[in-house]
Chain A
Amino acid sequence: MRRLLAHIMAGAIVIFARTITAVRGVWKGVAPAPVRRVYFANHTSNGDFILLWAAIPPQYRRHTRPVAAADYWLKNKWRAFIGRDVVRGVLIDRNPETRTLDPVTQMAEATDAGASLIIFPEGLRNMTDAPLLPFKTGLYHLATARPELELVPVWIENLNRVMPKGEIIPVPILCTVTFGAPLEYDADKERFLQAAYDAVLALKPDTGDQ
């Protein structure tokens, strides 16, 4: 029953996102395929992963799980239902002092079970005027632990305009989700993170400035 509800809810969320944003996936450097991937994207809105999720064809969407903050998604029953049951998020504890599970291990185990992941390497929502914040190191550690995963950079355009922080009415603005060519692994951490950062930023369309 809970699973059925979650399934219906997932469909409803995708239809809602489509109606408002007419979201379109632009598969620029890679095509949808039955391989395990880590989609890493810019992060400006809580709806980001839903949009990215909606842009992935349904047969692959079911195996694609967002990595999200446990403190946000377990705050109340309703959020927990969405976060855990509907989008099947890999919920990680952001606080190194209190956590019992290592986030990288959690992510690696999820991919071992056949999932693809959606992560936002900036770590938190970008509220600044800069297009992209520096990346945290989680992506590097995950890539080192599971070198077989395909690392796909993604740019999500315009969602921050659909519903800016603090607003409650979403406005219909067209959104695109652009998927770039998979990133090569580099054992040098700094170089790897810089290349990952550049790969995401390179997908940003040069229009629609704020």
Chain B
Amino acid sequence: MTELQILFTGLLVLLLAATIVAQVMDERHPSPAVDNLVVRINAWWVMVLALALAFFMGRTAMVLLFTVASFNAMREFVTIAATRREDHLAVAAAFFLVLPLQYVMVWMDWYGMFSIFIPVYAFLLMPIVAVLKGETENFLVRVASVQWALMIAVYCVSYVPVFLSLDIPGFEGKNRLLIAFLILIVQLSDVLQYVWGKAFGRHKIAPRLSAGKTVEGFFGGILSATLIGAAMFWITPFTPWQAGLMALGISLMGFLGGLVMSAIKRDRGVKDWGDTIAGHGGFLDRLDSLVFAAPLFFHLTRFFWMGHP
């Protein structure tokens, strides 16, 4: 079996176990909390199956999957953003010009362009399109909202399929495993922080930002995700130590990304980004940690392992 097959088999076993446990809990002590758990696990099945399809079908499928994810994420972001009708053209350009172009360049493997397209060209284009309408009220906030939507929902998310373009000596043809490692650690870290927090959580770590996050959940979740990362070194080009450190970085960025995104939600007065994924909220509720972890993990890997910093 290849590493990828072992990984997905492991995930299926894990999900199957979770499903059975949740069913048993539902029969013994039915409660809204258990109902929510069942709904969440069912959504995980869908997400894992979608990922499995993209992983085994190859590059184009992977790029398409994250194009769809970006589209949904940006729709959620723009929905709560403070735009006015004068920003219509800028928003339309973000959805129908910038987003597709970014993913076409990712698909073409044009590193020199996709790595600067949004931070440079789209960054400058958005205020230009908006300013032509002549509306100055809240101009900075409005333009920044659209720029943030592109950076968060498109640029950062598009880093995930970009791993397929890395050229790591001795790791040829296995780049998909880096994406698997990243997503596995980010999501496990989220789940483990939640589980540790539920089991031992006493002290809130950021009461103004997120009522659910606790100090105990933070240390328990980050530490166990780091250990799991180290134990998964065999699917990466890293040694166990390096894999552990990478997992630590991924988990920390994921945690901090979750805080930033929840500050934005608080500011705009919403609880979830959407309700497309039953039990989880919107796409951004599931992607928030990945958004912050993916670019860092990519550039660390590129810097240290590709041989030409």
Contact = CB atoms under 8 A, between A and B. Distances in A.
Contacts of A158: 79
A167 B268 CA distance: 26
Interface stretch (B31-39, B80-88, B214-222, B286-294): B80-88
B131 interface: no
B75 interface: yes
A61 interface: no
Interface string A136-148: 0000000000000
Contacts of A22: 75, 274, 276
B137 to A, nearest CB: 11
Contacts, number: 46
Contacts of B80: 207-208
Given A24-B275, A207-B269, A207-B270, A173 B75 contact: yes
A167 B270 contact: no
B249 to A, nearest CB: 33
A100 to B, nearest CB: 38
Given A22-B276, A172-B95, A174-B274, A161 B85 contact: yes
A164 B275 CA distance: 25
A171 B268 CA distance: 20
B92 interface: yes
B92 A171 contact: yes
B75 A172 contact: yes
A207 B96 CA distance: 26
Interface residues of A, number: 18
A24 B76 CA distance: 14
Nearest to A157: B79
A209 interface: yes
A172 B83 contact: no
B284 to A, nearest CB: 11
A206 interface: yes
Contact of A161 (B83, B269, B270, B276): B83
Contacts of A24: 275
B78 interface: yes
Interface of B: 71, 75-76, 78-80, 82-85, 88-89, 91-92, 95-96, 268-270, 274-276
Interface of A: 22, 24, 158, 160-161, 164-165, 167, 169, 171-174, 206-210
29 contacts: A158-B79, A160-B85, A165-B85, A167-B88, A167-B92, A169-B88, A169-B92, A169-B96, A171-B78, A171-B91, A171-B95, A172-B71, A172-B75, A172-B95, A173-B75, A173-B78, A174-B75, A174-B76, A174-B79, A206-B269, A207-B80, A207-B268, A207-B269, A208-B79, A208-B80, A209-B82, A210-B82, A210-B84, A210-B85
